[in-house]
Amino acid sequence: MTIFPRSIEEWYKPLTREEKIWIALAFIVALTLAGTTIAWHFIDRSHQVPSIAVEADPREFLSKAMEFSRTYSGKVVPEGTDIYLAAVRFTWIPSELILKAGVTYRIWVSSPDVLHGLSIIGPGDVVYNVMVMPGMAYVIHVKFDKPGEYEIRCNEFCGIGHANMIGRIRVVG
Q: Is 165 in the site for ligand CUA (CB under 6 A)?
A: yes
**Among residues 103 and 126, whose Cβ is nearest to ligand CUA?**
126
Residue nearer to ligand CUA on the CB measure, 40 or 157: 157
Q: Are 118 and 166 in contact (CB under 8 A)?
A: no
Q: Name residues contacting ligand CUA, limited to 131-160 (CB under 6 A).
A: 154, 156-158
Shortest spacing between CB 123 and ligand CUA, in angstroms: 22
Minimum distance, C-beta of residue 136 to ligand CUA, in the bound complex (Å):
15
Residue 117 or 122 with smaller CB distance to ligand CUA: 117
Q: 101 CB contacts (<8 Å, ≥6 apart)?
A: 144, 145, 146, 147, 171, 172, 173
Helices (H), the chain: 8-11, 17-43, 58-72
Q: Which residues, numbered 33-72, are part of the site for ligand CUA (CB under 6 A)?
A: none
Q: Give the nearer residue to ligand CUA in terms of CB position, either 22 or 157.
A: 157
Core vs surface per residue 122-156: b (16+ CB within 10 A) or e: beeeebbbbebbeebbbbbebebeeeeebebbbbb
Q: Which of 76, 118, 120, 116 lies closest to 98 in space, CA to CA? A: 76
Question: From the list 65, 77, 110, 116, which residue makes contact with ligand CUA (rule: CB under 6 A)?
Answer: 116
Chain contacts with ligand CUA (rule: CB under 6 A): 87, 116, 154, 156-158, 162, 165
